[in-house]
Amino acid sequence: MNRRRFIRVVSAATPALALSSLDVLAAKSKSPSPIVVSTWEPNAKANEAAWEVLSKKGSALDAVHQGVMIPEADPDDNSVGLGGNPDRDGRVTCDACIMDHQGNIGSVMCLEHIVHAISVARLVMEKTPHVQIVGDGALQFALENGFRKENLLTASTRERWQQWLKTSKYNPMTTLDDIQRRIQQNHDTIGMLALDASHQLSGACTTSGMAYKMHGRVGDSPIIGAGLYVDNEVGAASATGVGEEVVRICGSHTIVEAMRYGMTPEEACLTALKRLVKMKGEAYARKVQIGFIALNKYGEYGCYSLLPNFTMAVRTSSGAEVVTAKYMFE
Ligand code: ASP
């Protein structure tokens, strides 16, 4: 029985012992090399920025922060920051959160006019006694800390929104056509997880949320435990897809707990998806897309989605790789 298999068997059989067994084995094991993983293939670019930090022995926290800033600043990425799709009132409202290896957390929700929501979330974590700041309060906090107010709606996102206004149909239930269209238009939320040379984990998640949502709607992405969770003893997870469904099952926390008790990252992602299917039924789950990614303390990674076409971008010292997620339903 190899070491990882042994860890899983020990963990599954004796949860109370699992952590101490993991710790002893982790201490004996060779430290895994740094790695960064992200939701969606086009985020390979973001991984490169994170890898710049990790390869110079920088922290996982700095790596995920720098990494997700890439799509935030990209006007052609229609799901994050500048150029993000607006809500039904034509307002671009961004959500982001960040979590480090010590359980420090920061989050902003429904933040307008600021390109780098993730940087504001990190400031919430590092400079305030709070963990979440929303709406006008988040904007006020950002401006007080030197962030510039900008218009995040671009000519093309404005034009598409104006087209959408002709029918004004909000349909978050994701058809396969919709998924294909979104992939062509670029991709969705970026969730990024990293393990650094000092064997510490961190994660970040940032999004402009579901296109044409109600003003003030917040999905899973800035919610610690739903869109992102990190437990430095075990692993980390992040999500993309219909946020309401991820919140329903505390997706990322559920995955980390499943890894704690011995599952591989891929098995843990599938377990969380199965929980939604059990709760809401197969007919319901077949109409929504959720994609999960997970990374454990040993540098093992995995992903799973409800519907096809979800991908995960991976970067290690061996180079870049794209993993196409297994999925539950055709
Ligand atoms: N999870 C995001 C949200 O619900 C959207 C997405 O990943 O596409 O806001």
Atom of ligand 1 nearest to the CA of 182: 8
Instruction: Report whether pLDDT(239) > 80.
Output: yes
Is 93 part of the annotated catalytic residue set? no
Of 123, 99, 120, whose CA–CA distance to 109 is shortest? 120
pLDDT score, position 179: 53
d(CA 98, CA 120): 10
* Mean local confidence (pLDDT), 180-204: 82
Instruction: Among 192, 207, 250, 309, name the best residue to mutate to test ligand 1's pocket (greatest count of ligand atoms within 8 A of Cβ).
Output: 207
Split at pLDDT 50, 70, 90, the class of 168 is: confident
Substitution site in 217, 242, 305 for ligand 1 pocket (most atoms within 8 Å of beta carbon): 242
Instruction: Report the predicted TM-score, pTM, of the whole model to 2 decimal places.
Output: 0.90
Answer yes or no: is pLDDT of 320 > 80: yes
Q: Which residues contact 10 (CB under 8 A, 6 or more apart)?
A: 17, 18, 21, 262
Residues 6 or more apart from 55 whose CB is under 8 A from it?
34, 317
pLDDT at residue 184 tops 70: no
Ligand 1 centroid, distance to 219 Cα (angstroms):
6
pLDDT of 185 > 90? The answer is no
Q: Cα of 25 to ligand 1 centre, how many Å?
A: 37
The residue among 167 and 62 whose pLDDT is bigger is 62
Q: Would you state the torsion angle of the CA atoms of residues 242, 88, 72, 226, taken in this order, to the nearest 10 degrees?
A: -30
Beta bridge partners of 93: 112
Is a pLDDT exceeding 70 seen at residue 305? yes
Q: Which amino acid is at 241?
A: G
**Using 50, 70 and 90 to split pLDDT, how confident is the model at 1?**
very low
What is the model's pLDDT at position 178? 59
Instruction: From the CA of 291, give the closest atom in ligand 1.
Output: 7
Query: Which residues partner with 304 through β-bridges?
Result: 292, 326
- Closest by CA position to 293, among listed 59, 38, 17, 56: 38
Average pLDDT over residues 293-320: 97
Distance 21 CA to ligand 1 centre (A): 36
* CATH superfamily, region 33-327: (Glycosyl)asparaginase (3.60.20.30)
Averaged confidence pLDDT in the chain = 90
Residues with CB under 6 A from ligand 1: 79, 188-189, 207, 209-210, 219-221, 240-243
Give the ligand 1 atom nearest the CA of 79: 8
Terminal-residue alpha carbon distance, the chain: 35
Write the residue with the smallest CA distance to atom 6 of ligand 1.
241
Instruction: Return the pLDDT at 24.
Output: 45
**Helices 251-260 and 15-28, axial angle in degrees (round to 10):** 80
174 has a pLDDT exceeding 70: no
CA nearest 270: which of 317, 233, 305, 232?
305
pLDDT in tens, 63-90: 999 999 999 999 999 999 999 999 999 9
Name the β-bridge partners of 235.
231, 296
Question: What is the model's pLDDT at position 188?
Answer: 77
* Cα torsion angle, 73, 79, 81, 82, sign: positive
What percent of the chain has pLDDT above 70? 85
Q: Dump pLDDT digits (tens) for 125-150.
A: 999 999 999 999 999 999 999 999 99
- pLDDT category of residue 295 using cuts at 50, 70 and 90: very high
Which pLDDT belongs to residue 6? 35
From CA 300, how far away is CA 302, in angstroms rounded? 7
Q: What is the position in ligand 1's atom list of the atom closest to the CA of 240? A: 7
- Mutation to probe ligand 1, out of 178, 183, 220, 238 (largest number of atoms < 8 A from CB): 220
Ligand 1 mean position to 14 CA, how many Å?
36
- Nearest Cα residue to atom 5 of ligand 1: 209
- For residue 171, pLDDT over 80 is answered with no
pLDDT at 172: 61
The pLDDT, as a whole number, for residue 169 is 78
Secondary structure of residue 121 in the 3-state scheme: helix
- DSSP-derived 3-state class of residue 301: strand
CA-to-CA distance for 235 and 202, rounded, in angstroms? 9
Token pair, residue 119, equals: 């940087």
Of the two residues 172 and 279, the one the predictor is more confident about is 279
| Res 14 pLDDT > 90 | no
Q: Which two tokens stand for residue 307?
A: 């519907």
Q: Distance, CA 63 to ligand 1 centroid (Å)? A: 22
Q: Are 130 and 104 in contact (CB under 8 A)?
A: no
**20: confidence class by pLDDT, cuts 50, 70, 90:** very low
User: Helices 117-127 and 60-73 sit at what angle, rounded to 10 degrees?
Assistant: 150
The residue ranking higher by pLDDT, 181 or 37, is 37
Probe target for ligand 1 pocket from 189, 217, 250, with the most ligand atoms within 8 Å of CB:
189
Residue the block writes with tokens 């990614």:
293
Nearest CA, atom 9, ligand 1: 209
Report pLDDT for 182: 55
pLDDT level of residue 170 (50, 70, 90 thresholds) = confident
The CA 289 to ligand 1 mean position distance, Å, reads: 10
* Token pair recorded at residue 145: 């800390």
Structure tokens at 242: 């219909």
Structure tokens at 137: 């309060």
Q: Please check the confidence at residue 4 and state whether its pLDDT lies above 50.
A: no
Q: Which pair of tokens denotes residue 127?
A: 């400079």
What pLDDT score does 30 carry?
A: 57
What is the distance in A from the centroid of ligand 1 to the CA of 85? 11
- The closest of 257, 288, 285 to 271, measured between CA atoms, is 257
